[in-house]
Structure 1
Amino acid sequence: MQNSFEILQNIDLFNGFSEEEIRESIHCLKGYTKKYQKREIIFSKAAPLPTFGIVLTGTIFLSSEDITGSTFIFTELSAGDIVGETALQFTQTGVEYDVTAATDCEILFFHKENIVQPNKVICALRARIIENLFTLLLQKNQELYHKLDIVSHKNLRNKILHYLHLQSQKSDTQHFTIPFSREELANYLIVDRSALSRELSRMQDDGLITFSRNTFQLL
């Protein structure tokens, strides 16, 4: 945990907290960190979900399978993002998706009862944590809106450009690395992988982008 405090001070869950307040919050709310290796399952679909987490390092995927067994990645989460937020509901049976480590990652977990049932844990900073959690949930909804906006484009090139522009804005640079392999990007955009690869090559020939593997530059 000691090595994570610099990261913790820069995530929205602890916005406005001093290092001492972060330590106090994690201690009284019984937070704990856990590390996962790439491709390791974090949450499984329909499994009980007693905890929610904040991504400290790395990237994770939220995905599901259709009736044919094809994988659909509907969002990716990185440092500062909330995962398993449905645990905060008073009644829930589990997540409706799989959560997988896309890279090696570390997550800070809290048990839901320590947040939603104040009689379980007395913590002077709990109200501020809940306020910041509300902000995180609003951001999560905005990310899902962005995804819907991307996949609503019927034209493949427009889908790709919209996604790349959002990644550029997120990285605050025209040259950036996306968290997806080519197959994963196809699953995320809900398109055929071969068609995606062909269109990326055409976009490079047309002077719109340059790329090497999962590193892109908008021109």
Structure 2
Amino acid sequence: MIKDTKIGVKGMEVWKKSPLFHGMTEQKIEEILMQEQCRRKKYEKGTFVFLEGDVPKSLFLLIQGKVTISQSTMSGRRILLTDITRSGDLFGEVYLFIGKEAYDMDAQAVEDSEVLEIAGEIPRVLWQNMLEIFAKKAYLMNQKVKVLGCASIREKIVRYLFERKNTDGTIRGNLVREEMAEYMNVTRPSLSRELGSMQKEGILEIQGRDIRIADWEKFEMYL
């Protein structure tokens, strides 16, 4: 079920934190949000924000909840592209700028979610921030391509962890195996087996959802 309402200006803290409105005054943000093309929509868990094949007409900003962006392979397998989890983050915006006639991915609310939709032509005042958002997303996509381009599961794990490590060699709170497996396009059992092997070999230390790189020399052999 989808509930569609006029956006209003409620939730200014969300708008101010969003990169879309970076550097803008509250007055300017209010002027944009009060335009007719801005709508607040609520999506129940399991509802699609858009489907592969739909015609792109809007950009979307997460207010609260979680939206998963995924794509189908020829065999029918689902590949996780990204999760939209932070209030203020955008999704679907690139299609308005590259002239694609249809989405080639799905956006699904995986929990009850609320989304800001800006339909039609994007207000010119947002263009500079949009360019910065595109640049950041291009960088993150490049990091994912590096992971997916690795020949083995171990190399994918090492590349994934290397990009997320702290200066002390720890990766805290990031070991959600289902999400890691989807990101790397491998099965969860295969990922778990390889993580277990790396722990037995002394390369990694795993405690709950935290990881520490225990042997840098062995770890870097797979970069």
Q: TM-score range by the shorter chain?
A: 0.7 to 0.9
- Give, in whole Å, the separation in 1 of the partners of 2:82 and 2:98: 24
- C-alpha contact (below 8 Å) 2:38/2:116 kept by paired residues: yes
TM-score, normalization by structure 2: 0.77
RMSD of Structure 2 on Structure 1 (CA): 2.6
1:204: Cα distance to partner?
Answer: 3.6
Match of 1:163 in 2: 160
Unaligned runs of at least 5 residues, structure 1: 116-125
Match of 2:3 in 1: none
Computing the radius of gyration from Cα coordinates, the structure with the larger value is 2
Q: Following superposition of structure 1 onto structure 2, how do residues 28-177 of structure 1 map, counting pairs within 5 Å?
A: 28=35, 30-79=37-86, 80-89=88-97, 91-113=99-121, 115=122, 126-168=123-165, 174-177=171-174
- Give, in whole Å, the separation in 1 of the partners of 2:177 and 2:146: 21
- C-alpha contact (below 8 Å) 1:53/1:82 kept by paired residues: yes
1:73: Cα distance to partner?
Answer: 1.3
Secondary structure of 1:199's counterpart equals: helix
1:207: Cα distance to partner?
Answer: 5.5
1:43: Cα distance to partner?
Answer: 1.0
Match of 1:218 in 2: 212
Number of residue-to-residue matches in the alignment: 201
1:129: Cα distance to partner?
Answer: 0.9
Q: Match for 1:203 among 195, 198, 201?
A: 198
Question: Residues 127 and 145 from structure 1, CA distance in 2 versus in 1: closer, same or farther, beyond 3 angstroms?
Answer: same
1:167: Cα distance to partner?
Answer: 4.2
Does residue 4 of structure 1 match 2:11?
yes
- Give, in whole Å, the separation in 2 of the partners of 1:94 and 1:140: 20
- C-alpha contact (below 8 Å) 1:75/1:147 kept by paired residues: no
Unaligned runs of at least 5 residues, structure 2: 1-7, 214-223
1:198: Cα distance to partner?
Answer: 0.6
